């Protein structure tokens, strides 16, 4: 490990006033799978009400970061605090939506039932869904515009509708923290706009949205704050930092082709992990730690 | 002969009535547990665990202990070991299953070969003797059935959520790891219940085939279970009568009825619809 100090960063929330406690705080976190390191020396604060995109190359640790926050992965070292406690303690206030390709879309389950699953953790084994749960599910499906597809099997839905169904599950769960793995990947631009408008509304209502994306264009259009990840946190701050070529080259290891104002991504997986010694630190305005 | 006699005559034999009750109960439990099993991609696990019960059955015979206890210890133990090896080791699930299942079956054959002057029937262990089920067996089987169905009844939501989306379920606080272990134990107990009815080799059909038939027909989990239960309970009844009148092996006849129903539904669907392909379960996790 050639890099002496970890990249420290604090993400300021654009638009909404910051509360005292962050929704998520990672202190010097390293994590990985087996003997393979995926994230190293990560310091990060994410304010409640953030609409945050985690961007970076494939294999750069985006999903790992999401899983750490979700309590699905235990860090090798460092500490993770989620909604003011250790991961898992406030699990019922967390909604995690996996990548679409990890879902078995042939599973015999309706949109209604998917949304109802959001209620299961709070019900517990001894209770069956009641009127309050059905009302919450109906409201959530109405909110995402899927009430008329409630009885459809999920495999019969379009890509955008499938994501709406999972979003309805998060809303029905009354979660405060949404962790979304590639929520706008593989859907067309108008559908992205619709989905992101929903997420922006959820963030405006005080919920914290953390989404991974390898689509820089989508990140720059739809999110208010961003964190770059390539084994380390390479940059964090308001979405405008995506206009900084340094930020992009640091995150993608210099394998970027610039066309006009925006970087066009050449995602070359071969070199990312070897570049950490060369990374420069982005200092955002809030300057914590 | 009066058609009613076809149904009533066998009922004059207590062994036939016991066999009917036992195999219908087995069919019910297998259908419910099998519905989760096929969606979890654990069909191969059912085969593995039934073979793993063999050394327990033989050991129970050697030690003159209860059949169900021996089978349960061996099958549940292997289920938990497979879960543990898969989670802790760097092995894929199917590799762990392959190693443990063959090893346990070999242990069963090994123990069996040690039985001195034993002229008993290996065939019975392997293919079941539902017509030989006694009152005590029926009681033990029913108690185990209530335990398994009660557990699924209590945890149906949690099992469903962790089957459909293990990451989402775990993130929102469900103990997915413990549910996985519990479910493996439920499969093992279901197999123990089924061994006398259909035997080690054919148990997997009781678990998988009715649920697979449900998967062909149902678009919701509730309907999948409903179809599986109808097929799972009706097939042993039809199969037992057929085996009685044809004088064929009962376990095999039951399984053939289930397989026939599955084939008819599959072909019927192909002829009537051109719908989405049916994915018979996910890969072993």
Tell me what the mean pLDDT of segment A204-232 comes to: 91
Q: What is the pLDDT of residue B40?
A: 93
> In the structure, what pLDDT confidence band is assigned to residue A34 with cuts at 50, 70 and 90?
confident
> In the structure, what pLDDT confidence band is assigned to residue A141 with cuts at 50, 70 and 90?
very high
Length of chain B: 285
User: What distance in Å separates the CA atoms of residue A100 and residue B211, rounded to the nearest whole number?
Assistant: 25
> Which segment of B2-6, B158-162, B180-184 scores lowest on mean pLDDT?
B2-6
Looking at the predicted structure, is the pLDDT value of residue B9 above 50? yes
Non-local CB neighbours of B153 within 8 Å, separated by 6+ positions: none
Give me chain A's average pLDDT, please.
Answer: 83
Please tell me which of the candidates B158, B167, B282 has its beta carbon nearest to residue A72: B167
Question: B220, A108: Cβ pair inside 8 Å?
Answer: yes
Q: What is the pLDDT of residues A145-171, one digit of tens each?
A: 999 999 999 999 999 999 999 999 999
Inter-residue contact B244 to B16 (CB < 8 Å): yes
Tell me what the mean pLDDT of segment B83-109 comes to: 83
Which residue from A167, A227, A223, A225 is spatially nearest to A200, judged by alpha carbons? A223
Q: Which residues on chain B are in Cβ contact (under 8 Å) with A169? A: 168
Contacts 24+ apart (CB under 8 A), A257-263: A262/A216, A262/A217, A262/A220, A263/A216
Q: What is the pLDDT of residue B90?
A: 72
> Which segment of A111-120, A251-260, B37-46 scores lowest on mean pLDDT?
A251-260
Strand-pair category, A177-180 with A36-47: unpaired
**SS3 string of chain A?**
CCCCCCCCCCECCCCCCCCCCEEEEEEEEEEEECCEEEEEEEEEEEECCCEEEEECCCCCCHHHHHHHHHCCCCCCEEEEEECCECCCCCHHHEEEECCHHHCCCCCCCEHHHHHHHCCHHHHCCCCCCCHHHHHHHHHHHHHCCCHHHCCCEHHHCCHHHHHHHHHHHHHHCCCCEEEECCCCCCCCHHHHHHHHHHHHHHHHCCCEEEEEECCHHHHHHHCCEEEEEECEEEEEEEHHHHHCHHHHHHHHCCCEEEECCEEEECCCCCCHHHCHHHCCCCCCCCCCC
Q: What is the pLDDT of residue B8?
A: 87
Q: What is the pLDDT of residue A258?
A: 52
Q: What is the pLDDT of residue B126?
A: 80
Q: What is the pLDDT of residues A70-102, one digit of tens each?
A: 999 999 999 999 999 999 899 999 999 999 999
Of all residues in chain B, the percent with pLDDT exceeding 90 is: 59
Which residue from B74, B205, B63, B189 is spatially nearest to B128, judged by alpha carbons? B205
> In the structure, what pLDDT confidence band is assigned to residue B3 with cuts at 50, 70 and 90?
confident
Q: What is the pLDDT of residues B79-92, one digit of tens each?
A: 888 888 877 777 77
Question: A125, B276: Cβ pair inside 8 Å?
Answer: no
Q: What is the pLDDT of residue A99?
A: 93
DSSP class of B276: P
> In the structure, what pLDDT confidence band is assigned to residue B275 with cuts at 50, 70 and 90?
low
Reported ipTM: 0.85
Question: B168, A153: Cβ pair inside 8 Å?
Answer: no
Q: What is the pLDDT of residues B197-231, one digit of tens each?
A: 888 888 999 999 999 999 999 989 999 999 999 99
Which residue from A107, A110, A178 is spatially nearest to A147, judged by alpha carbons? A110
Q: Does B39 touch chain A (CB under 8 A)?
A: yes
Q: Return the CATH number of A1-83+177-289, one of 3.40.50.300, 3.30.1330.20, 3.60.15.10, 3.40.718.10.
A: 3.40.50.300
Which residue from A22, A181, A176 is spatially nearest to A92, judged by alpha carbons? A176
> Which segment of B144-153, B195-204, B258-267, B272-281 scores lowest on mean pLDDT?
B272-281
Phi then psi dihedrals of residue B35, to 5 deg: -60, -45
Q: What is the pLDDT of residues B14-36, one digit of tens each?
A: 999 999 999 999 999 999 999 99
Tell me what the mean pLDDT of segment A122-127 comes to: 90
Q: What are the residue boundaries of the structural domains of chain B, listed by start?
A: 3-272
Q: Does A175 touch chain B (CB under 8 A)?
A: yes
User: What distance in Å separates the CA atoms of residue B96 and residue B89, rounded to the nearest whole number?
Assistant: 9
More confident residue, A170 or A58: A170
Q: What is the pLDDT of residue B256?
A: 95
Radius of gyration of chain A (CA): 19
Token pair, residue A171, equals 């809303």
More confident residue, A23 or B124: A23
Non-local CB neighbours of B77 within 8 Å, separated by 6+ positions: B52
Give me chain B's average pLDDT, please.
Answer: 88
Q: What is the pLDDT of residue A275?
A: 38
Phi then psi dihedrals of residue B226, to 5 deg: -60, -50
DSSP class of B140: H
Tell me what the mean pLDDT of segment B59-72 comes to: 88
Q: What is the pLDDT of residue A15?
A: 40
Looking at the predicted structure, is the pLDDT value of residue A112 above 50? yes
Q: What is the pLDDT of residue B5?
A: 85
Please tell me which of the candidates A104, A121, A166 has its beta carbon nearest to residue B173: A121
Which residue from A111, A106, A113 is spatially nearest to A149, judged by alpha carbons? A111
Distance of CA A19 to the CA centre of its chain: 20
Inter-residue contact B50 to B57 (CB < 8 Å): no
Collapsing DSSP to helix, strand or coil, B175 comes out as coil
Please tell me which of the candidates B154, B167, B169 has its beta carbon nearest to residue A125: B154
Q: Does A33 touch chain B (CB under 8 A)?
A: no
Superfamily of domain B3-272: ABC transporter involved in vitamin B12 uptake, BtuC (1.10.3470.10)
> In the structure, what pLDDT confidence band is assigned to residue A20 with cuts at 50, 70 and 90?
low
Q: Does A92 touch chain B (CB under 8 A)?
A: yes
Q: What is the pLDDT of residue B272?
A: 80
Question: B277, A70: Cβ pair inside 8 Å?
Answer: no
Q: Which residues on chain A are in Cβ contact (under 8 Å) with B215? A: 108
Q: What is the pLDDT of residues A192-203, one digit of tens each?
A: 888 999 999 999
The angle at the Cα of B237, spanning B235 to B242, to the nearest 5 degrees, equals 90
Of all residues in chain B, the percent with pLDDT exceeding 70 is: 93
DSSP class of B115: S
> In the structure, what pLDDT confidence band is assigned to residue B196 with cuts at 50, 70 and 90?
confident
User: What distance in Å separates the CA atoms of residue A143 and residue A284, rounded to the nearest whole number?
Assistant: 35
User: What distance in Å separates the CA atoms of residue A280 and residue A241, rounded to the nearest whole number?
Assistant: 14
Strand-pair category, A22-33 with A208-213: unpaired
User: What distance in Å separates the CA atoms of residue A272 and residue A255, rounded to the nearest whole number?
Assistant: 9
Looking at the predicted structure, is the pLDDT value of residue B181 above 50? yes
Mutate to test the interface with B, among A67, A99, A117 (most CBs of B within 10 A): A117
Q: Does A139 touch chain B (CB under 8 A)?
A: no
Looking at the predicted structure, is the pLDDT value of residue A283 above 50? no
Q: What is the pLDDT of residue A256?
A: 55
Q: How far is the alpha carbon of A46 from chain B, nearest alpha carbon, in Å?
A: 18
Strand-pair category, A51-55 with A225-230: parallel
Inter-residue contact B168 to A98 (CB < 8 Å): yes
Q: What are the residue boundaries of the structural domains of chain A, listed by start?
A: 1-83+177-289, 103-175
Which residue from A54, A155, A59 is spatially nearest to B277, judged by alpha carbons? A155
Token pair, residue A4, equals 């002496």
Token pair, residue A6, equals 């970890």
Which residue from B48, B45, B39 is spatially nearest to B214, judged by alpha carbons? B39
Length of chain A: 289
Q: What is the pLDDT of residues A251-268, one digit of tens each?
A: 887 555 554 455 455 544
């Amino acid at each position: 490990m050639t890099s002496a100090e970890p990249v420290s960063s604090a993400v300021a929330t654009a638009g909404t006033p910051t509360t005292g406690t962050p929704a998520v705080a990672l202190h010097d976190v390293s994590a990985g799978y087996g003997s393979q390191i995926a994230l190293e020396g990560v310091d990060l604060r994410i304010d409640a009400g953030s609409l945050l995109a985690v961007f970076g190359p494939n294999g750069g640790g985006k999903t790992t970061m999401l899983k750490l926050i979700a309590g699905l992965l235990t860090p090798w070292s460092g500490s993770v605090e989620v909604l003011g406690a250790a991961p898992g303690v406030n699990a019922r206030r967390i909604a995690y939506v996996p990548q679409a390709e990890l879902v078995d879309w042939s599973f015999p389950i309706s949109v209604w039932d998917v949304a109802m699953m959001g209620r299961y953790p709070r019900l517990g084994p001894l209770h069956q869904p009641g009127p309050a749960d059905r009302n919450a599910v109906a409201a959530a499906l109405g909110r995402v515009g899927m009430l008329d597809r409630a009885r459809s099997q999920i495999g019969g839905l379009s890509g955008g509708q499938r994501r709406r169904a999972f979003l309805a599950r998060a809303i029905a769960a009354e979660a405060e923290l949404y962790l979304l793995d590639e929520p706008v990947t593989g859907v067309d631009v108008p559908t992205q706009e619709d989905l992101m408008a929903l997420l922006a509304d959820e963030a405006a209502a005080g919920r914290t949205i953390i989404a991974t994306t390898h689509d820089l264009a989508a990140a720059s259009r739809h999110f208010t704050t961003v964190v770059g990840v390539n084994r380390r946190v390479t940059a964090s701050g308001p979405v405008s930092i995506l206009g900084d070529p340094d930020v992009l080259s640091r995150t993608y290891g210099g394998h970027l082709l610039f066309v006009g104002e925006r970087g066009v991504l050449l995602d070359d997986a071969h070199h990312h992990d070897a570049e950490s010694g060369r990374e420069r630190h982005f200092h955002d305005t809030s300057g914590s730690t | 002969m009066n058609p009613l006699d076809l149904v009533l005559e066998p009922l004059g034999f207590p062994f036939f009535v016991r066999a009917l009750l036992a195999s219908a109960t087995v069919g019910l439990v297998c259908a419910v547990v099998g519905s989760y099993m096929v969606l979890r991609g654990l069909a191969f696990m059912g085969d593995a665990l039934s073979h793993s019960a063999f050394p327990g059955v033989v050991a129970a015979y050697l030690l003159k202990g209860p059949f169900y206890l021996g089978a349960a210890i061996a099958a549940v133990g292997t289920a938990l070991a497979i879960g543990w090896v898969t989670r802790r080791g760097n092995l894929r699930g199917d590799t762990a299953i392959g190693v443990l299942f063959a090893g346990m079956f070999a242990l069963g054959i090994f123990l069996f070969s040690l039985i001195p002057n034993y002229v008993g029937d290996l065939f019975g262990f392997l293919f079941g003797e539902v017509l030989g089920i006694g009152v005590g067996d029926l009681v033990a089987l029913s108690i185990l059935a209530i335990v398994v169905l009660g557990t699924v009844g209590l945890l149906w939501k949690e099992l469903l959520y962790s089957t459909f989306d293990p990451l989402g379920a775990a993130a929102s606080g469900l103990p997915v790891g413990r549910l996985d272990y519990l479910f493996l134990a439920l499969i093992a107990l279901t197999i123990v219940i089924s061994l006398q009815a259909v035997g080690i080799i054919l148990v997997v059909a009781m678990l998988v085939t009715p649920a697979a038939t449900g998967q062909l027909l149902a678009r919701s989990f509730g309907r999948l279970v409903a179809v599986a239960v109808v097929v799972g309970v009706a097939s042993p009844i039809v199969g037992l009568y057929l085996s009685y009148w044809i004088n064929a092996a009962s376990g095999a006849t039951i399984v053939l009825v289930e397989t026939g129903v599955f084939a008819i539904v599959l072909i019927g669907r192909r002829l009537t619809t051109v719908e989405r392909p049916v994915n018979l379960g996910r890969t072993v996790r």
